[in-house]
Structure 1
């Protein structure tokens, strides 16, 4: 039987493993940072009607540039961050934020170029970087998982990367970056600066978005997703805000008709129901903060979180703890620093099950 090693794949792909979190049938899946609240019956009906509306024209290609969707996204972001001055010409959308990252690296990375990030951080940044032929540089985060501006600037000055990734709130640690760190990197970076805000809607009160820095920074890109706060992980819709020239650059590398008519219709419907969908954010924030307090009260080390997950530890053998929780029907994530585990914030019942299972696992 032919194996992967028998095929003439690129040399730089040999020995690598495909990305993927475990997809197991368990009572409590708390490993992929999804919003645990499903769409209401009212929204389900609206989504079905939206798909019906486009079903009769699926023999035709969709709007190649997704103009109406981008207008809706711009309106949402402009309301979320007053003064950002966003229009459809400054917003782009793709199949999840991973395709957004891929397009950015196709346009601004590639052979002979470098991308720099501060790990532990989102594991797809280095994966997509290397698959695009770009060299990845890990500059490391501080011991508390933060990022001191002076050290970040020093790393940028040393390596002169073509693309810098800043993740805020950071995955898997949950920590948000102060704007002064982002501004310092913007001032020092010779290339593009990407601020990944996949969990931006969950940040604590008073934590500003990098969207406020777009004006006057034409090399800044802020990425978002509808997979988390919007509870639309199955839709696969990521988007970004940037200078119009950045959108022009991405048009050079995007695949034709990359967003289906169904995806565009579903995403626009979700945006129309954003008050309902984002209405769960406050509840998840409160559940997160309660979980952080409980874990610390139980003697665990816990990273400050502005996201819908919590990184906690430390464990001499985290695999044993992970397995013990799984036996009890609770699936969390082995990710990030070796002695730590990450748990997604779920419903009160899911969090109660997690707490009980963790107590029994000690």
Structure 2
């Protein structure tokens, strides 16, 4: 008989916890985990393959521990006068966030955000031994600067997560909220801009707030806009001293030479990759308009997904779509479902299936 978790000397604070578990089902249309469903363009893929092939020639050696060319490429991509000394990267933005919690969280410390928000924040927090605390949002999932600051001041956390725009709701986060929260705490403030490229082009990034704020960090990912979910590359921008703190907790040579080569090559084609973003935004807006016409209530989204209300039975509708070959996400908010904006054909398949399921409540 095989052992169970109860038979192992697991940490007490991990007992009863559940791992991240988004379904991975082999359905024709998978729109549940906010991937970029557009494939990497052929000319970009060819360049990435060439770069990886060159890196393979020296794969018997450890990679550049400081991943210097990649940090320079990220600084060039982000702009705002950033230099490589202000850039960090890891295997997906989740590992970037884990590094932050390892350096500034841990036993006896707390992390805070406003629920509902990204489900990995409490998992990463507890995994590093810190305590998770959640505040509240407005009825439409927005945050008011004064209220947000008041909640943070009362909680007195060591780390604050601000998801901008928010996942799973798509809600924009005004920069005055970031400023108010930063002024209300002596802890680290993380602005998670995983979906920033899907926001309106004229909207400012929290990167503009970095000068003079050594406790502020802006996290990004290549998974969404750059169609790099399978490559696992996340990064952040912060004060150089903050980057030094992360060096204390990272594992040696944590970014493989192949990952560095692939990501650097992709960044050299940023304009081509970002043209896909405009196509995805068009499908996102199409989803919002059509689900509203079907009687549902979509929320404003600056991401590559749409959360909509008015679902009489979330589980039943999710299952009905599943039976039609469409995988969406039940995020645990009653009467809501979330769907990723896919290709035009995938979006059509979802909207046709949703229309066939029945009317909204």
TM norm structure 1:
0.97
Matched residues in 2 for 1:201 and 1:54: separation?
29
| 1:119 is aligned to 2:115 | yes
5+ long unaligned stretches in structure 1:
79-83
Matched residues in 2 for 1:273 and 1:34: separation?
19
| Contact 1:172–1:336 (Cα < 8 Å) also in 2 | no
1:306-326 per-residue CA deviation (whole Å, 9 max, x = no partner) reads 000000123242011000000
Aligned to 2:136, the other structure's residue is in SS state coil
| 1:187 is aligned to 2:183 | yes
Aligned to 1:221, the other structure's residue is in SS state strand
| Contact 2:86–2:237 (Cα < 8 Å) also in 1 | yes
> 1:339 deviation in Å?
2.1
Matched residues in 2 for 1:250 and 1:294: separation?
45
Matched residues in 1 for 2:81 and 2:185: separation?
24
Aligned to 1:139, the other structure's residue is in SS state strand
Map 1:252-331 to 2 at 5 A.
252-331=248-327
5+ long unaligned stretches in structure 2:
none
Match of 1:150 among 146, 149, 153: 146
Counterparts in 2 of 1:198 and 1:270: CA distance versus 1, 3 Å: same
| 1:94 is aligned to 2:90 | yes
> 1:284 deviation in Å?
1.1
1:12-45 per-residue CA deviation (whole Å, 9 max, x = no partner) reads 1111111021111111000111111111222222
Partner of 1:45: 46
| Contact 1:178–1:207 (Cα < 8 Å) also in 2 | no
Aligned to 2:194, the other structure's residue is in SS state coil
| 1:75 is aligned to 2:76 | yes
1:315-358 per-residue CA deviation (whole Å, 9 max, x = no partner) reads 24201100000000000011152221100000111111001111
Partner of 2:64: 63
| Contact 1:309–1:343 (Cα < 8 Å) also in 2 | yes
- CA RMSD after TM alignment: 0.9
Partner of 2:243: 247
| Contact 2:19–2:123 (Cα < 8 Å) also in 1 | no
Figure out how many residues of one structure are paired with residues of the other and give that number. Answer: 357
Matched residues in 2 for 1:161 and 1:4: separation?
31
| Contact 1:121–1:336 (Cα < 8 Å) also in 2 | no
1:222-245 per-residue CA deviation (whole Å, 9 max, x = no partner) reads 000000001111110000000001
> 1:188 deviation in Å?
1.0
Matched residues in 2 for 1:20 and 1:274: separation?
31
TM norm structure 2:
0.97
